[in-house]
């Protein structure tokens, strides 16, 4: 068994342990509607985490996803009169294009993506306020029933939660089995080495940021359709949960390692925990406190494990 498989099993074990511990206290954790609600609660952060994860694998990080989702939410509600599917397609394509532009700038300027996306985070939030006229936008009352199907459940799945699972599988396939996906892994694992081997740096960066923005757009649009409204100030807290899901799911902060399937594991570890805390009656701010504490715990643990592994490898190299 490789060390990667081992660490993935450990993460899966953690997720199952969190589930079992909380399920013992919370009956809804093993009821059909309860599981459906858990799945639904994961859609927003989940879809966004896929894209953030991809940029992290490339050794970068897209911090602008929250603003992008809010922007897409407003835009999709405003385009609703032209039909839901066209609105969705236009919004996702447009966001993907913005992301590609962002990726191009980051490549061209050779700038830290964490810094650049803070800039776009502010600008996009402002743009969202402009586009929405600083008001929450709503689907017209007479059309409100048209989006109800997004909340309908088939067994435990709704259309949004099924979309999340399909997207995870799709992007996981993309990242594992295509040239473009492997390039993202290559530049994250060793940018200089990959460049020397003839890998283009531009394409994977643009692709990763484009997918990240398109998925953030999709998540914003889907969620806004489901609730029938979009606020220009929404989706601010989603970045934290998405990044936490990626890190718990085994995507390395330094890039090049991890998998999109792992992100799903990380996502549900958080969802089980946070929903459980809510179900046990803790106030809402306890949920983000728990997410933050979990994130600190995970990154410190990863740093410590990395340190020990390096020491051990060095010791092995010396005795050999």
* Structure token pair of residue 280: 């046990």
Residue 49's nearest CA partner among 316, 279, 260, 294 is 260
Residues 244, 270 contacting (CB under 8 angstroms): yes
* Structure token pair of residue 212: 């990240």
* Binders in 257-296 for other proteins, by CB under 8 A: 257, 283, 285-286, 288-293, 295-296
Nearest approach in angstroms of CB 150 to other proteins is 28
Strands 137-138 and 229-230: antiparallel
* Residue 247 interacting with other proteins (CB under 8 A): yes
* Binders in 61-80 for other proteins, by CB under 8 A: 61, 63
* Residue 189 interacting with other proteins (CB under 8 A): yes
* List of long-range contacts for 140-146, beta carbons under 8 Å, 24+ apart: 140/80, 140/81, 143/80, 144/228, 146/84
Among 303, 308, 310, 311, binds other proteins (CB under 8 A): 303
* Residue 196 interacting with other proteins (CB under 8 A): yes
Nearest approach in angstroms of CB 257 to other proteins is 5
* Residue 85 interacting with other proteins (CB under 8 A): no
* Binders in 129-158 for other proteins, by CB under 8 A: 129-134
* Residue 5 interacting with other proteins (CB under 8 A): no
Among 9, 149, 193, 308, binds other proteins (CB under 8 A): 193
* Residue 212 interacting with other proteins (CB under 8 A): no
Among 22, 26, 35, 199, binds other proteins (CB under 8 A): 199
* Residue 315 interacting with other proteins (CB under 8 A): no
Q: To which residue do tokens 């290559």 refer?
A: 186
Phi and psi, residue 178, nearest 5°? -120, 155
Among 35, 41, 119, 231, binds other proteins (CB under 8 A): 119
Q: Which positions ≥6 away from 263 have C-beta within 8 Å?
A: 46, 49, 50, 53, 168, 245, 246, 249, 251
Among 194, 221, 238, 260, binds other proteins (CB under 8 A): 194
E strand or H helix that includes residue 219: helix 202-227
């Amino acid at each position: 068994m490789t060390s990667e498989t081992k660490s993935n099993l450990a993460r899966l074990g953690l997720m199952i342990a969190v589930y079992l511990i909380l399920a013992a206290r919370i009956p809804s954790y093993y009821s059909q509607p309860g599981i459906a609600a858990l799945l639904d609660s994961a859609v927003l952060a989940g879809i966004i985490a896929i894209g953030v994860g991809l940029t992290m694998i490339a050794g970068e990080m897209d911090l602008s996803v929250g603003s992008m989702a809010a922007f897409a939410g407003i835009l999709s509600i405003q385009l609703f009169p032209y039909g839901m599917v066209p609105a969705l397609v236009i919004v996702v394509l447009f966001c993907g294009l913005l992301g590609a532009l962002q990726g191009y700038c980051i490549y061209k300027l050779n700038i830290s993506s964490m810094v650049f996306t803070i800039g776009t985070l502010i600008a996009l939030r402002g743009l969202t306020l402009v586009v929405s006229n600083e008001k929450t936008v709503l689907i017209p009352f007479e059309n409100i029933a048209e989006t109800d199907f997004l909340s309908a459940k088939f067994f435990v799945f709704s259309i949004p939660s099924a979309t999340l699972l399909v997207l995870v599988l799709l992007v996981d396939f993309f990242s594992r089995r295509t040239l473009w996906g492997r390039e993202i892994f290559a530049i994250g694992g060793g940018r200089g080495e990959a460049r020397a081997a003839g890998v283009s740096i531009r394409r994977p960066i643009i692709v990763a940021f484009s997918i990240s923005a398109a998925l953030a757009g999709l998540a914003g649009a889907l969620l806004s359709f489901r609730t029938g409204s979009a606020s220009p100030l929404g989706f601010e807290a989603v970045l934290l949960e998405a990044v936490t899901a990626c890190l718990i799911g085994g995507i390395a902060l330094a890039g090049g390692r991890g998998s999109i399937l792992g992100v799903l594991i990380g996502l549900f570890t958080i969802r089980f925990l946070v929903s459980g805390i809510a179900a046990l009656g803790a106030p809402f701010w306890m949920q983000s406190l728990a997410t933050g504490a979990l994130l600190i715990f995970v990154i410190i643990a990863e740093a410590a494990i990395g340190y020990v592994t390096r020491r051990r490898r060095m010791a092995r190299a010396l005795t050999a």
